[in-house]
Structure 1
């Protein structure tokens, strides 16, 4: 194994810091614009796709790749703000569906473009081999940081997306 070029190490660390800083800046812009975290915005986006019928917390948790407890906490906060509402499922009265409200749709419409959407658009424009290479590289970076085992949702945010835990 050869010794790494110090300039390349610095370049890699600078690129990582830029990615982290972009997520921090996006979170701040989102909070200032509509008072939402990226995770809450994602819940609203998923609910907007379902419009009238809504979605169960279980379905939201599965789609976001987080626990049902995390989704419940996010939904609790959205309901408290008037951005979402809960109601009994018409198909199964034992289940509760979550729907987006007019206030939630308005907040969603005025929210800045989600950072992950910018990534999705750029990633989709890549050739298949570039996408595969990007995934392999990012997975390698995660492994280098001992982060390959961390449970993570496809939401670009800093800190823990679980509600109620202070950010550092």
Structure 2
């Protein structure tokens, strides 16, 4: 039995590597198709979806952050890049000048309507289709793998991107 353990460990490592490669390939695909990093795409998508769902909503950075599960500071830097690209507009409200609202520009709306589907959306839909017991089992196994790799203390948003993509979108890279 002990002889098979290295093979199983290698298969687990191979599966982890396949996941990392898929995330990398999909990030490159999204970048070439949409001209955006995954975090930028997710923020643009969130602004468009909030606007569709809540017509005349005053969309704030905090609302977008909540939608994409990133901090307001990170979203603000991502939005800076979307504003520079001419896809998003920032507007101070006349009534309360402290409040800054976001909206898609005409170019942003056009881009929003043709955005490719992010990998995490496909994953979440497929994951939700699994039986609850299987979902719990997978979560437990992944948490254990995270622990075995000393990764449980790392902060991570539920976005399927490589660390480099988040840093670049956040203005760090």
- TM-score, structure 1 as length reference: 0.88
Following superposition, the deviation at residue 158 of structure 1 comes to 0.6
- TM-score, structure 2 as length reference: 0.86
List aligned pairs for 1:12-161, cutoff 5 A: 12-51=12-51, 52-89=56-93, 92-160=96-164, 161=166
Following superposition, the deviation at residue 42 of structure 1 comes to 0.8
Distance of 2:6 and 2:93 partners within structure 1: 59
Runs of at least 5 residues in structure 2 that lack an aligned partner in the other structure: none
Aligned residues: 165
Q: Is the 8 A contact 2:59 2:102 kept in 1?
A: yes
Distance of 1:131 and 1:91 partners within structure 2: 47
Following superposition, the deviation at residue 21 of structure 1 comes to 0.4
Q: Is the 8 A contact 1:66 1:152 kept in 2?
A: no
Q: Is the 8 A contact 2:46 2:68 kept in 1?
A: no
Runs of at least 5 residues in structure 1 that lack an aligned partner in the other structure: none
2:171 to 150, 164, 168: 164
Cα RMSD (Å): 1.9
Following superposition, the deviation at residue 109 of structure 1 comes to 2.9
Distance of 2:58 and 2:134 partners within structure 1: 36
Q: SS at the partner of 1:104?
A: helix
